[in-house]
Homo-oligomer: A and B are copies of this chain.
Amino acid sequence: MSASRVAWFKGKLVPEADARVSFRDFGFQVGDGVFDTARTVAHKPFMFEEHIARLYRSLAYVGIDPGLQPAAMLEATLEVLEANLPLIGPDDDYWVTQWISRGVRAEDRLGVDGPATVIIECSPLPLRHRARGMRDGLDVVTPAGIRRTPPEAISPRVKSMSYANLLAGDNEVQRLKPGATSVLLDTRGCLAEGLGSNIFIVHGGEVLTPHERFVLGGLSRQTVMAIAADKGISLREADIDLYDAYSADEAFITSTSWCMVPVRSINTRSIGSGEVPGQVTARLIEGYREKLGGFDFVAQYTRRLEGAN
């Protein structure tokens, strides 16, 4: 099936296999680029405009001109999606991602030689693989030796193609607890973020999440904030250390693909009663379903467990 998927590359749709970049591409050589990724919900675009707006904020920060305006970027994205949708089943969905690097580096390395590299593509969500996590909750582990890069070195709010810090943190976690979900601490010892995910804890009915200064301002995070406001659930940004985490009543993670997923343990300590989802999490999940027009993203994952296990 992958054989027939297409990607936007050099301004037009090409088979994915033809979307290849030079080894001199700044993105490949030195991670000099940014990206953004949205998901479909029941084959429909969800918050594509917001993701593209964030993409352009990242582009502005690093000073890359993608060569097309946000509206054209959206149009191209929808075009890629439309072409690829027939290739997945009705209960599947896509990540839809724009990868934009500074372009091809001049052969004498003195700058860029030509336009930015712009690739737009669809990747199927790994629903089956993650179904158990959605049902049972994730086991979060914080790596010991890798702290999240502090904002004064490079702001985590730029969705940069240089992920070495988050990858090294995850690598360390996988060595100690294979299959765990890594969430890095910041240099002050507070919870920061994982590989493209945001974390939330619930304490005495109040929902807390790290300050945006230290993490990517995820759009699912923002969606949860809006839901909490709608439902009258108190939610605020805070410095959250491991004492807070271990004594939380509930915890959950947001990301584009998960939307929301409960956390059942942090560093092997059960969160709250250990039952997932907790009560506040469940209300927010309900709210998220409403935001998705009633689409049950939890069931989309957990259905994969039927007959399996």
Q: Which residues of B contact A187 (CB under 8 A)?
A: 150, 152-153
Contact of A241 among B9, B22, B60, B155 (CB under 8 A): B155
Q: What is the total number of copies of this protein in its complex? A: 6
Compute how far the CA of A268 lies from the CA of B141 in the bound complex, rounded to whole angstroms: 15
A295 within 8 A of B: no
Q: Is A242's beta carbon under 8 Å from chain B?
A: yes
Given A63-B171, A165-B149, A239 contacting B213 (CB threshold 8 A)? yes
Question: Which residues on the B side are within 8 Å of A172 (C-beta)?
Answer: 267
Measured between beta carbons, the chain B residues less than 8 angstroms from A99 are 23, 28-29
In the assembled complex, the Cα of A146 lies from the Cα of B246 at a distance in Å of 13
CA distance A243 to B61 in the complex (A): 8
Whether B176 and A177, one on each chain, are in contact in the complex, defined by CB atoms closer than 8 angstroms, is: yes
A227 within 8 A of B: no
Contact of A31 among B164, B189, B239 (CB under 8 A): B164
Interface residues of A in 17-43 (CB under 8 A from B): 17, 19-25, 27-32, 35
Q: Is the CB of A153 within 8 A of B126?
A: no
A181 at the interface (CB under 8 A from B): no
A144–B192 alpha-carbon span in the complex (Å): 13
A299 located at the interface, meaning its Cβ lies under 8 Å from any Cβ of chain B in the complex: no
Interface contact B168-A164, CB-CB below 8 Å: no
In the complex, what's the smallest C-beta–C-beta distance from A91 to chain B, in angstroms? 15
| CB-nearest residue of chain B to A143 | B144
Docked-complex contact B32 and A167, CB < 8 angstroms? yes
Distance, CA A160 to CA B31, complexed state (A): 9
On A, residues with C-beta under 8 Å from B are 2, 7, 9, 16-17, 19-25, 27-32, 35, 57, 60-63, 95, 99, 101, 107-110, 119, 121, 123-126, 129, 141-155, 157-158, 160-165, 167-168, 171-172, 175-177, 185, 187-189, 211, 213, 239, 241-244, 246-247, 267-269
- 4 A-B pairs with least C-beta separation: A31-B31, A152-B189, A162-B162, A162-B164
Extra pairs beyond A21-B23, A149-B154 (17, CB < 8 Å)? A16-B23, A19-B22, A20-B23, A21-B28, A29-B35, A29-B161, A32-B163, A108-B124, A144-B144, A145-B267, A146-B154, A147-B153, A148-B153, A155-B241, A162-B162, A176-B176, A176-B268
